[in-house]
Amino acid sequence: MGPFLSPLPRGEGTASVLPYANPLPSTAMSQQTSMIRLPRRPSRWRQAMTRVLVIGSGFAGMWAALGAARARRDLGAAASSIDIDVVAPSSMLCLKPRLYQRHESVFEVDIAPLLSAVGVGFSAGTVASLDVAAHTARLVGNVAGLSYDALVVAAGSHTTPPPRPWRPHVHVLDSATEAFALRRHVAGLPQRPPSPGRYTAVVIGAGFTGLEIATELGGWLRDLAAGSGEAARVLMLDRADTPGASLGAGPQATILEALAKTGVTFRPSTSVSDITATDGDNVLTLADGSRIDAATVVWAAGLRANPLAGLAGPAADDGRLTVDSMLRVAGQNRIFAAGDSARASAAPRHDTLMSCQHAMPTGRVAGHNAMRALAGAPLIPYTQPGYQTCLDLGEAGGMLSHGWDRAVVWNGAKAKAVKRFINGPVIAPPAADRALELAHATPMPVATAEELAARWQALLGDAAA
Ligand SMILES: Cc1cc2nc3c(=O)[nH]c(=O)nc-3n(C[C@H](O)[C@H](O)[C@H](O)COP(=O)(O)OP(=O)(O)OC[C@H]3O[C@@H](n4cnc5c(N)ncnc54)[C@H](O)[C@@H]3O)c2cc1C
């Protein structure tokens, strides 16, 4: 899973950093400040038209739709009759990077009004299969299916699921519903009768999500247990021998310090062999035969691409589609993939990660290219060499790193301020009146750690003093 966001802020007072680098031709650039087209299409399916179809209303799908709408405007007559439609089970965009946040209450945003404002249709539906030869996406419960002329697959990912018998006992953080379920569960602990594991949480998986939820739970459980006479404990288990092993050596010292500060105990080289439940607690049996009683168990075993992706073309081990530099699916001219559905080359020797940092720009480029392919315009290559990681570490603050080897730039309160800014205006859907302008924006190339720090300092002002 990739935690990494580019500082592409869309909030107030941040416009000065937006138009940084742009891969679009200068004719498109010159239109960057012109007016946004008014809504012109009803949100319903019509047949016998030329259509860009976007599967998914997450970060990549939303930005693909906006990118396609922007390209349609820029290309003028060559594209003006091309419709753009998004299909997803719901028009709610889940702000997944926030799901671990104890004090956050907005985990999803309805993007239907935004799509409508830029002339993009939305249809609620779940794509069950793709008939690539017939250019048709087949929906659950809809025999006819949806035809397309160009397709963007942006169906996202989900947490690799736990074994079925364990599912009733564990929480995952994949959706707003699941995040609220965890919150309700934790908030209800003080009302439960005392038990050995009432204020014990076990987080299985010490990757990015595991670290964020474990450190958040550290302070959360301690607050709830205060005055009960019972101890609050958070254990984080992983088969790896270090926490955050997938993040490399760069942030190791910061992570270890944060675990110590937040009272999270890491158990290395540990696997779970069973999870059952008693009246109060869950009982975890570890591979070495030992047992842990814990009322709260969070499963954070990494992300896997939606299997829908594999129906569009050859997929990598993690289920993501292999795409070329134009984000075209291997062997296809008019099928593009973005976000967690795509494994693209972001920089020499570095592929995209399952992250918002990569989902938003790949979405934008895939949307532009789907429209451009239909209009006969040259495609835009995707590239994103600049890279950063920002990790929330609960009461220990955060960790901001620079580059693919994740050299730490800031930690503590300053990094936490960056994280909150990312989880706020950076990932929030844009306002309708700026959406098409931003659909043009590309990631800021991050040249040096000093430059990265200076940019965040300028954006955050006193919050990062
Ligand atoms: C707990 C958690 C924390 C995270 N923290 C960070 C972070 O700090 N920084 C970061 O950069 N990244 C983070 N990520 C990763 C980031 O959220 C994802 O990389 C990002 O959401 C990917 O965007 P996406 O649009 O590709 O997929 P998603 O956001 O998963 O959206 C997929 C869309 O496809 C739709 N869909 C699914 N199946 C179908 C179907 N069959 N038919 C039609 N539509 C379908 C879904 O409904 C959804 O609208 C986190 C992820 C999680 C789970």
Residue spans of beta strands (DSSP E) within 148-199: 150-153, 157-159
Q: What atom in ligand 1 is closest to the CA of residue 1?
A: 15
AA letter at 260: A
Ligand 1 pocket, residue 313 CB under 6 Å:
no
Q: What is the DSSP letter of 134?
A: T
Residue 15 has pLDDT above 60, yes or no: no
Region 228-237: mean pLDDT is: 96
Ligand 1 pocket, residue 91 CB under 6 Å:
no
Q: What is the DSSP letter of 336?
A: E
User: Tell me, what's the pLDDT at 307?
Assistant: 96
Q: From 355, 362, 418, give the residue whose CB has the most ligand 1 atoms within 8 Å, as the site to mutate.
A: 355
Residue 406 has pLDDT above 80, yes or no: yes
Q: What is the pLDDT of residues 308-348, one digit of tens each?
A: 999 999 999 999 999 999 999 999 999 999 999 999 999 99
3-class state of residue 72 by DSSP:
helix
> d(Cα 363, Cα 430) in Å, to the nearest integer?
14
User: Tell me, what's the pLDDT at 30?
Assistant: 31
Place of tokens 């924006």: 441
3-class state of residue 300 by DSSP:
coil
What is the DSSP secondary-structure string of 241-267? SSTTGGG-STTHHHHHHHHHHHTEEEE
CA-nearest residue, atom 29 of ligand 1: 58
Q: What is the pLDDT of residues 286-299, one digit of tens each?
A: 999 999 999 999 99
pLDDT band at 465 (very low <50, low <70, confident <90, very high): low
Q: What atom in ligand 1 is closest to the CA of residue 157?
A: 30
Angstrom distances, CA of residue 165 to CA of 69, 126, 424: 45, 26, 36
Angstrom distances, CA of residue 230 to CA of 193, 195, 196, 260, 414: 11, 9, 8, 20, 33
Ligand 1 pocket, residue 205 CB under 6 Å:
no
Ligand 1 pocket, residue 311 CB under 6 Å:
no
Query: Which among 167, 188, 199 has a CA at the least distance from the CA of 295?
Result: 199
Residue 39 has pLDDT above 50, yes or no: no
CA-nearest residue, atom 38 of ligand 1: 155
CA-nearest residue, atom 16 of ligand 1: 355
Ligand 1 pocket, residue 97 CB under 6 Å:
yes
Q: What is the pLDDT of residues 416-447, one digit of tens each?
A: 999 999 999 999 999 999 999 999 987 777 77
Query: Which among 322, 398, 384, 328 has a CA at the least distance from the CA of 355?
Result: 384
Region 24-46: mean pLDDT is: 36
CA-nearest residue, atom 17 of ligand 1: 96
User: Tell me, what's the pLDDT at 441?
Assistant: 87
Average pLDDT over the chain, rounded to an integer: 89
Residue 138 has pLDDT above 80, yes or no: yes
Q: What atom in ligand 1 is closest to the CA of residue 159?
A: 53
> d(Cα 201, Cα 296) in Å, to the nearest integer?
5
Residue 127 has pLDDT above 70, yes or no: yes
C-beta of residue 84 within 8 angstroms of C-beta of residue 399: no
pLDDT band at 27 (very low <50, low <70, confident <90, very high): very low
Query: Which among 58, 44, 47 has a CA at the least distance from the CA of 120?
Result: 44
Lowest mean pLDDT among 73-82, 271-280, 283-292: 271-280
Ligand 1 pocket, residue 353 CB under 6 Å:
no
Region 356-367: mean pLDDT is: 97
Q: From 123, 138, 151, 356, give the residue whose CB has the most ligand 1 atoms within 8 Å, as the site to mutate.
A: 356
Say how many Å lie between the CA of residue 389 and the centre of ligand 1.
Answer: 17
Q: What are the chain's domains?
A: 15-158+304-384+425-444 (3.50.50.60), 161-301 (3.50.50.60)
Q: From 86, 93, 96, give the residue whose CB has the most ligand 1 atoms within 8 Å, as the site to mutate.
A: 96
Q: What atom in ligand 1 is closest to the CA of residue 90?
A: 47
Say how many Å lie between the CA of residue 157 and the centre of ligand 1.
Answer: 6
Lowest mean pLDDT among 2-16, 45-59, 122-136, 321-335: 2-16
Region 387-409: mean pLDDT is: 96
Region 48-72: mean pLDDT is: 95
pLDDT band at 76 (very low <50, low <70, confident <90, very high): very high
Q: What is the pLDDT of residues 174-188, one digit of tens each?
A: 999 999 999 999 999
Residue 37 has pLDDT above 90, yes or no: no
